[in-house]
Amino acid sequence: MKTLIKGGTVVTAIDTVEADVLVDGEAVVALAAPGSHSWEDDADKVIDASGKLVVPGGIDPHTHMELPFGGTYASDTFETGSRAAAWGGTTTMVDFAVQVKGETMMDGYTNWMEKAAGNCAVDYGFHMIAGDINESSLKEMEQLVDLGVTSFKLFMAYPGVLYSDDGDILRAMQTAAGLDAMIMMHAENGIAIDVLREQAIARGETDPVYHSLTRPAITESEATHRAIVLSELAGVHLYVVHMSAKEAVAEIAEARDRGLPVFAETCPQYLFLSVEDHVSKPGFEGAKYVCSTPIRLRSEGHQEALWNGLATNDLQVVSTDHCPFCMDDHPTLGMQKKLGLGDFTAIPNGLPGVEDRYQLMYHGGVVGGRIDVNRWVEICSTAAAKMFGLYPKKGTIAVGSDADIVIFDPNAKWTKSVEQHHMFVDYSVYEGLEVQGKVETVMLRGKVIVDGDEYVGEKGDGQYLKRDTVSVHH
Ligand code: DUC
Ligand code: ZN
Ligand code: ZN
């Protein structure tokens, strides 16, 4: 099956060129000046991309389909969530398999493989959440790396649940260093935060906004600093997830200036949402925006610092931390966000976004004049591919790369709404936002899976990605 994508503007992390793209089977086989070759004659399918951007499929390296959290589960399954990803132009996601306390990492891997295999609309890989560091789980890390799980996430938050203390963190980092694996860190001082939460509840401060206010920026920057120190001791590559505080970004910048292999991501919710406009909405509305790290005070200047970090490469990646919970009853799981009515500490943490990311970053980043199109592609696709052992199969449009391609209309204007999205959740955190730019066609390894507003793929199109170990040094 040969497909010609003609007349578009091909944008990669480096180049912006007018070019025809020839896809044969699952791969890109040639690029050429528009109309310079008679590829049209023997193509099985021709897609006219005139006036459109032709960009690599998005890579979301941080999703939580069906994550168990706070007595319920994230409302998107691998089937519904990966289809929503496809609609949003994301053709690869890396989800977090979970090793819970008392289980092995292999249990976590097997459980997540069972949930995902045969259900995914896009290609997928796994990181491993190391929830129980001990002698035997440290030994298992090598086995996981051999299976293509080359990154391990640790939590400095959530004491008693996923939390690891500094000793466990250092041991896991030392082991990862010996395997060329990446350590991913949820950097918040969970012990201090738990004290602030208890004190807030004792004062009767039970509304959703207190979720944000009991996780002040300093609890993120302190943990980020400590994670960097421990990674330096261990000599391991460190990737700090979902950064939201400007002081924490400064820690990353300082470490990178010293030449350490330290990397970080942020997510659209931290660039677009604030305590003032969202989390402090009256009644229980603020629960929609409860996630950790938290949405922060606009007045403290975090959004500008995060945008600036993306522009200057202090931050390298934009992921989603997609982890949706319904506001009202979920059809089978029942109460989700409302588990926390009258007690913000019982609100499941997380919000939807896997479908929104690529487009929103175009809108806020490129249309907003903060980054150029190449940087947009880099932070939404290329950088994650390099960071997590998928490049150049994923993350670019080049001869030999997988034909994961998005045709993007840079001029379309539309309004975001729960009515229009496909994520399995009953609200949008961007309800009513007027945006520019729209995903039009999505190809996964040469097969069109989204055509206009229609999903035309099949359940199970997505394949498991066995990822390489770390090779980034920038
Ligand atoms: N943060 C969230 O908001 N949800 C899931 C886990 C996490 O760390
Ligand atoms: Zn986290
Ligand atoms: Zn997460």
- Ligand 1 within 6 A of CB of 379: no
Q: Is residue 473 part of a domain?
A: no
- Ligand 1 within 6 A of CB of 323: yes
- Ligand 1 within 6 A of CB of 322: no
CA–CA gap between residue 386 and residue 380 (Å, rounded): 12
- Ligand 1 within 6 A of CB of 153: no
Q: Is residue 355 part of a domain?
A: yes
- Ligand 1 within 6 A of CB of 293: no
- Ligand 1 within 6 A of CB of 162: no
- Ligand 1 within 6 A of CB of 349: yes
C-alpha 164 – ligand 2 centre gap (Å): 13
Tell me which of 323, 336, 337 to substitute to probe ligand 1's pocket, judged by most ligand atoms within 8 Å of the beta carbon: 323
pLDDT value of position 471: 78
Domain, as residue range, for 304: 59-367
* Minimal-distance CA residue to ligand 1 atom 4: 350
- Ligand 1 within 6 A of CB of 363: no
If one counts the domains in the chain, the total is: 1
Backbone angles phi, psi at 301, to 5 degrees: 85, 20
Longest Cα separation, the chain: 74
**E strands, 342-459, in order:** 405-415, 434-444, 447-451, 454-455
Q: Is residue 462 part of a domain?
A: no
- pLDDT tens, residue by residue, 125-176: 999 999 999 999 999 999 999 999 999 999 999 999 999 999 999 999 999 9
Q: Atom of ligand 1 at shortest distance to CA of 241?
A: 8
Q: Is residue 236 part of a domain?
A: yes
- The answer to whether 423 and 391 have CB atoms below 8 angstroms apart is no
> How do the residues of the chain divide into helix, strand and coil, expressed in percent and rounded to 5?
35, 25, 40
Per-residue pLDDT of the chain (474 residues; tens, 9 = 90+): 999 999 999 999 999 999 999 999 999 999 999 999 999 999 999 999 999 999 999 999 999 999 999 899 999 999 999 999 999 999 999 999 999 999 999 999 999 999 999 999 999 999 999 999 999 999 999 999 999 999 999 999 999 999 999 999 999 999 999 999 999 999 999 999 999 999 999 999 999 999 999 999 999 999 999 999 999 999 999 999 999 999 999 999 999 999 999 999 999 999 999 999 999 999 999 999 999 999 999 999 999 999 999 999 999 999 999 999 999 989 999 899 999 999 999 999 999 999 999 999 999 999 999 999 999 999 999 999 999 999 999 999 999 999 999 999 999 999 999 999 999 999 999 999 999 999 999 999 999 999 999 999 999 999 999 999 987 654
Parallel, antiparallel, or unpaired for β 2-11 and 53-56?
parallel
- Ligand 1 within 6 A of CB of 187: no
Tell me which of 215, 267, 321 to substitute to probe ligand 1's pocket, judged by most ligand atoms within 8 Å of the beta carbon: 321
CA–CA gap between residue 334 and residue 356 (Å, rounded): 25
Backbone angles phi, psi at 82, to 5 degrees: -75, -30
- Ligand 1 within 6 A of CB of 186: yes
CA–CA gap between residue 292 and residue 197 (Å, rounded): 13
Listed residue (430, 306, 473) closest to 379, CA to CA: 306
Q: Is residue 410 part of a domain?
A: no
> Residue 299: which CATH number?
3.20.20.140
- Ligand 1 within 6 A of CB of 219: no
Q: Is residue 117 part of a domain?
A: yes
C-alpha 159 – ligand 1 centre gap (Å): 14
- Ligand 1 within 6 A of CB of 467: no
C-alpha 315 – ligand 1 centre gap (Å): 19
Q: Is residue 388 part of a domain?
A: no
- Ligand 1 within 6 A of CB of 64: yes
CA–CA gap between residue 183 and residue 288 (Å, rounded): 29
Tally: H helices and E strands in the chain: 13, 19
* Minimal-distance CA residue to ligand 1 atom 7: 292
Q: Is residue 291 part of a domain?
A: yes
C-alpha 246 – ligand 3 centre gap (Å): 19
* Minimal-distance CA residue to ligand 1 atom 8: 292
- Ligand 1 within 6 A of CB of 350: yes
CA distances (Å), origin 434, targets 269, 408, 415: 16, 17, 4
- The answer to whether 2 and 44 have CB atoms below 8 angstroms apart is yes
Cβ contacts of 201 within 8 Å, gap of 6 or more: 343, 345
- Ligand 1 within 6 A of CB of 70: no
C-alpha 460 – ligand 2 centre gap (Å): 27
pLDDT value of position 473: 55
pLDDT value of position 329: 87
Tell me which of 241, 242, 265 to substitute to probe ligand 1's pocket, judged by most ligand atoms within 8 Å of the beta carbon: 242
* Minimal-distance CA residue to ligand 1 atom 1: 292
Asked if the bond preceding 410 is cis, omega within 30° of 0, the reply is no
CA–CA gap between residue 92 and residue 387 (Å, rounded): 14
Cα angle 390, 396, 397 (rounded to 5 degrees) comes to 135
